[in-house]
Amino acid sequence: MKKKWAFLFDIFLTFFKIAPITFGGGYAMIPVIEREAVEKKEWLKQEEVTDLFALAGSIPGAIAINSATFIGYRIAGVAGAIAATIGVMIPTSAIVVCLSIFYLYFQDHPKVEAAFEGIRPAVVALIVFAAYKMRKGAVVDKTTFVVAALSVILLLFLHVHPVMMIALGAVAGILLISLKDKLGIETKVDDHKQNTDYFMGADI
C-alpha cells in the first residue's frame, strides 16, 4: 500500500513541477513531459508519448490536462489519472489567477510588453522542438513521411480543422496498413501497441 501511494505521489509531484514551467499551453509541455516521463522516469516509450499527445489533442478540453490524465492512466490506472490531473491543475490554476491580476494592472507597462515579446518566440521554439522530438516515433518510413507532409500542406493551405486532420490521419493509416497487408509488405507493430491493457502499477 505504501508503495502504491508513493508511486501516485511521484506522479502528482512530477506534473505539479511540470505545469508552472511550461508557458504557451499544452504543446509547449511536450518536450518537458517527454524528458520527465521517458528519459528520467522511464514510465513510457517515446512512441507511447506521441500516441497519447495525438489522442489528447483530438478530444475537447485543454491538451495539458488531457495529456496529464492520459499519461497518468497509462502508467497507474484511474488513480494515476487523478493524481496527474490534480498535479497539473493546481499550479496552473494558481498561476493563471495571479498572472490575470498582474496583467490587469501592468498590461501597459513597457517592460511587461517587452517580456511578452520574448516569451512568444520562445514558445514557438518549444513547440517546434516538441515536433522534432515526436517525429522519431511518428515518421518511421516513407509512407508516414508522406502522410506527415500532406498533413502540413492541408493545415497550412486548406486550413483543415485539427480534429479533422487527426481523423484523416487515422483513415490514412488504416488504408495504408490494409494496402501493405494485401501487397504482402510486413508491417512492424510495437509491443506496447499489442498489449494495450497493460499499464505500470497495475498490480499495486
| pLDDT averaged over 10-residue windows placed end to end, the chain, 204 residues | 87 89 66 85 84 76 83 92 93 84 80 80 78 73 84 88 83 84 67 41 39
Q: Which amino acid is at 194?
A: Q
CA 169/CA 148 separation, integer angstroms: 9
Same domain, 145 and 81: no
Give the structural domain span for 87: 2-135
Residue 192 lies in a domain: no
Same domain, 108 and 8: yes
Residue 196 lies in a domain: no
Same domain, 32 and 48: yes
Same domain, 153 and 82: no
Same domain, 36 and 128: yes
Task: Output the pLDDT for position 23.
Answer: 61
Residue 158 lies in a domain: yes
CA 14/CA 86 separation, integer angstroms: 11
Q: How many CB atoms lie within 10 A of CB 199?
A: 16
Residue 204 lies in a domain: no
Number of domains in the chain: 2
Same domain, 67 and 130: yes
Same domain, 90 and 119: yes
Grid cell of 199 as nine digits: 499499464
Same domain, 170 and 87: no
| Three-class secondary structure assignment of the chain | CHHHHHHHHHHHHHHHHHHHHCCCCHHHHHHHHHHHHHHHCCCCCHHHHHHHHHHHHCCCCCHHHHHHHHHHHHHHHHHHHHHHHHHHHHHHHHHHHHHHHHHHHHCCCHHHHHHHHHHHHHHHHHHHHHHHHHHHHHCCCHHHHHHHHHHHHHHHHCCCCHHHHHHHHHHHHHHHHHHHHHHCCCCCCCHHHHCCCCCCCCCC
Same domain, 107 and 129: yes
Residue 201 lies in a domain: no
Same domain, 26 and 100: yes
Q: How many CB atoms lie within 10 A of CB 110?
A: 7
Task: Output the pLDDT for position 25.
Answer: 60
Task: Output the pLDDT for position 9.
Answer: 94
Task: Output the pLDDT for position 195.
Answer: 41
Same domain, 181 and 95: no
Same domain, 43 and 125: yes
